[in-house]
Amino acid sequence: MLSAEEAQRIFDEAELVVSEQDAAAAVRRVAGEIAAVMQSSHPLVLSVMGGAVIFTGQLLPLLDFPLEFDYLHVTRYGDTTTGGELSWIVAPRAAIAGRTVLVVDDILDEGITLAAVKRRLLEQGAKDCRIAVFADKELGRDKPVAADFVGVRLPNRYVFGFGMDVKGAWRNLPAVYAVKGL
């Protein structure tokens, strides 16, 4: 965890990558794309905690069709900046079998976590599993899973804000920033 001073220094030196206005426009666009595809399926929407909380909170009110909401908590990062072993902290309580599921997450980075989530949901009997991410990081290589709905594309840099954190800080920002030098 960062001290308040360290967190402020990182923010002060960071580069704005996605403005608050562009983030809001991306959420509205994604909501329209999801509605066009999923509005008649009464989907189970699963938010991936804790990064997806901002995206999910802004997305759900824009989905004007019946849906069921639940969450899951799985991570490879904890408070580190590099991915490790996958850890399932909370599984969805809602029944998965026979459902159309929409997984909502903050960022598709390497794709290992979201690929594992999708695989597990399909193994539990989901009839369809779609993925919506606020951000898809451009890594320049294939990922084990692709998002069906993407808000913004980001450069391959260490980013924070709009649900994404830097060592536990700054998830609460309404815009996306890149850490200086990373």
pTM value is: 0.92
For residue 147, what is the DSSP state?
-
Q: Which residues contact 122 (CB under 8 A, 6 or more apart)?
A: 129
The per-residue pLDDT for 82 is: 52
pLDDT, one tens digit for every residue, the chain (182 residues): 889 999 999 999 999 999 999 999 999 999 999 999 999 999 999 999 989 999 999 999 999 999 999 999 997 655 545 555 778 899 899 999 999 999 999 999 999 989 999 999 999 999 999 999 999 999 989 999 999 999 999 999 999 999 999 999 999 999 999 999 76
Query: What structural domains and CATH numbers belong to the chain?
Result: 4-178 (3.40.50.2020)
Residue found under tokens 């809001």:
24
Note if the bond before 32 is cis, omega within 30 degrees.
Answer: no
Token digits of residue 26 = 């991306």
CB 5 within 8 A of CB 171: no
Give the model's pLDDT for residue 88: 83
Please tell me the predicted confidence (pLDDT) of residue 178. 97
What's the confidence (pLDDT) of residue 86?
Answer: 75
Residue 146 has a pLDDT of 97
Query: For residue 165, which of 58, 54, 90 has the smallest C-alpha distance?
Result: 54
Question: For residue 66, how many other CB atoms are within 10 A of its CB?
Answer: 10
Q: Beta strands 176-178 and 15-18: pairing type? A: antiparallel
